[in-house]
Amino acid sequence: MSTTRRIAVIGGGAAGFFGAIRAAEVDPTAQVTILEATDHPLAKVRVSGGGRCNATHACFEPRELVQRYPRGSRELIGPFSRFGPRETIAWFAARGVELKTEADGRMFPVTDDSATIVDCLQHAALAAGVRLRTRTGVSAIARAADGTFALTLRDGASAAADCVLLACGGTKGTGGATLAQGLGHAIEPQVPSLFTVHIDDPLLKGLEGLAAPAAAVQVPGTKLRAEGPVLVTHWGLSGPAILRLSAWGARELHDMDYTFTLQLAWSAVHAPAQAAAALADQRTAQARKQVASINPFGLPARLWERLVAAAGVPAGGTWAGLSKAQADKLAGQVTTTRLAVTGKSMNKEEFVTCGGVRLREVDFRTMESRVCPRLYFAGEVLDIDGITGGFNFQAAWTTGWLAGSAMAGPRD
């Protein structure tokens, strides 16, 4: 090992920048270099959160926070107690960036502009003396007999390092998985998480833009179930409940080739029997009024009209005229609508892949490999992913910070 510690960070995304800055701040004598394949470091940060960057989530209890991670929840408890959302907020505040909390807990820069986060990371890296090499893809890493690393760059050049942080993200085909495999790691297959679903059903036609605020979705025959708002889109359904279902069901739904039956409760607060009872109440209380004009479930008016029509209630039909069969069908429409899903689309605001480096091969106190000493991992290259809401960046900040701390910590 050379006297100046050479730290190579592969990947100039959220996790790579955070790890590099932390390492350079802890050990200002270290030579920390980010090797970024493209010309655009921090590209995902820039486009994140619809251009606003949902940088973290106002959830400060590690045990509660980890419940937002379909993969990685057990491993992240310790890391979040050391560097969680509270520390993220303080980290950015110390560098002049204030974050604000929205009603649902998502946190964004007060500027509502992801460029604020990008600029902050770039300035912090520069100030800490981190070297950034763009258009420098790493194609192979070999471990030399003395324990150092020999990196082969895509242009054929080579570089040497004493520690390597693999932070090359989760997108298939970036080569991150191959680099980790080359150093002895197993990779969980990478598949998309956080997607919306394609549904071509007359029930939804013309309802684009409408949202049911308290819905629930499930996939019959599986344990997959999620609650939250559901939004009708031009191609099917989206919204937090659908995104949560897609995150928890990333593997199962991939294995079904994204073709399955979705059972939807437009109002999750009503079980089928309660919905039937609510309808029965209206039959007496609102006897002369039209069924389509009185909506006991708090649904958008046009959606309610559509459900009423789908239950076979004639236009202008009154509550007094609602037959038992029509009432049962309407209760079914509200609580157990079944729709055929025929595919998926990636979510525009945030998307992520599940899969990556197998977690039990990593020491989550330091993010160091258990297989290859002085190799570290951070961010989406790991088999960790969160639901939408700022949780994916939080995992990148946390694992990057831990890896940076360890790489620059006392040498053994």
Ligand X SMILES: Cc1cc2nc3c(=O)[nH]c(=O)nc-3n(C[C@H](O)[C@H](O)[C@H](O)COP(=O)(O)OP(=O)(O)OC[C@H]3O[C@@H](n4cnc5c(N)ncnc54)[C@H](O)[C@@H]3O)c2cc1C
Q: For ligand X, which is the closer residue by CB, 138 or 217? A: 138
| Structure tokens, 378 | 């951070």
Evaluate whether 237 touches 204 at the Cβ level (below 8 Å).
yes
174 binds ligand X (CB under 6 A): yes
Q: Which of 25, 36, 75, 305 binds ligand X (CB under 6 A)?
A: 36
11 binds ligand X (CB under 6 A): yes
Q: Which of 167, 230, 311, 339 binds ligand X (CB under 6 A)?
A: 167
Evaluate whether 67 touches 226 at the Cβ level (below 8 Å).
no
Half-sphere exposure of 163 (CA within 13 A, CB side): 33
Q: Which of 6, 22, 44, 374 binds ligand X (CB under 6 A)?
A: 44
118 binds ligand X (CB under 6 A): no
Q: Which residues are paired to 149 by β-bridges?
A: 143, 161
| Phi, psi (rounded to 5 degrees) for 287 | -45, -40
12 binds ligand X (CB under 6 A): yes
| Phi, psi (rounded to 5 degrees) for 35 | -105, 110
Q: Which stretch binds ligand X (CB under 6 A): 223-231, 235-243, 304-312, 385-393?
A: 385-393
Q: For ligand X, which is the closer residue by CB, 267 or 392? A: 392
| Structure tokens, 202 | 């007359």
CA distance 19 to 394: 13
176 binds ligand X (CB under 6 A): yes
Q: Which of 350, 361, 368, 383 binds ligand X (CB under 6 A)?
A: 350
Q: For ligand X, which is the closer residue by CB, 175 or 300? A: 175
- Can you give the length of the chain in residues? 412
| Structure tokens, 241 | 């409940």
38 binds ligand X (CB under 6 A): yes
Q: Which stretch binds ligand X (CB under 6 A): 33-41, 240-248, 335-343, 404-412?
A: 33-41
Q: Which stretch binds ligand X (CB under 6 A): 23-31, 94-102, 123-131, 161-169?
A: 161-169
Q: Number of H helices and number of E strands within the chain? A: 13, 21
47, with CB counted inside 10 A (0-12, 13-18, 19+), is middle
| Structure tokens, 257 | 């080739």
In whole angstroms, how close is the CB of 339 to ligand X at the nearest point? 26
296, with CB counted inside 10 A (0-12, 13-18, 19+), is middle
CA distance 83 to 400: 10
In whole angstroms, how close is the CB of 49 to ligand X at the nearest point? 3
In whole angstroms, how close is the CB of 155 to ligand X at the nearest point? 12
375 binds ligand X (CB under 6 A): no
Residues in binding contact with ligand X, number by CB under 6 A:
38
Residues 310 to 349 in contact with ligand X, rule: CB under 6 A:
349
∠176-180-186 over CA atoms, to 5°? Answer: 115
Q: For ligand X, which is the closer residue by CB, 50 or 312? A: 50
Q: Which residues bind ligand X (CB under 6 A)?
A: 10-16, 35-38, 43-44, 47-49, 53-54, 137-138, 167-169, 174-176, 349-352, 379-381, 390-393, 396
